[in-house]
Copies of this chain bind each other. A is one copy, B any other.
């Protein structure tokens, strides 16, 4: 059953995942969107402060989105996001890492006659290590009455 704005409450928490990233995918994403040496070149990455190849932060955010779409948004009446606050990258994501996501609804408010806005804190984890966090501002359709 799809999830509407009225089905979402402050304090709701859920866990989603998982997504395992390969060296090839890290390089492919970064060659297209973020071709800095520590994302595309294993030898240069080994000499960098990261000590090895790491995923672009935008790639980590995109993988987190995939986990959320599969687990949270696909069966909902989401109408897209207004934006994201406080996106932070704490630790790099490396080849072979498996990402999961945890969500907590921190605010809800009516937006207009048709939609409501939901603020969701999202944490991206590799095992128990939080590698990325953000607050998503998502519009959900109100239930038709």
Which of A's residues lie within 8 Å of B, judged by CB?
29, 32-36, 38, 49-50, 56-59, 61-63, 65-66, 69, 73-74, 78-89
Contact = CB atoms under 8 A, between A and B. Distances in A.
Given A33-B62, A58-B65, A85 B85 contact: yes
Given A36-B78, A81-B89, A89-B81, A65 B56 contact: yes
A49 to B, nearest CB: 6
Number of copies: 2
Nearest to A84: B87
A57 B81 contact: yes
Contacts of A36: 69, 73-74, 78, 80
Nearest to A137: B88
A35 B69 contact: yes
Given A33-B65, A34-B65, A80 B57 contact: yes
Given A65-B33, A66-B32, A82 B88 contact: yes
12 contacts: A29-B62, A33-B62, A35-B69, A36-B73, A38-B80, A50-B80, A56-B65, A61-B61, A80-B89, A82-B88, A84-B84, A85-B86
Given A58-B61, A61-B58, A34 B66 contact: yes
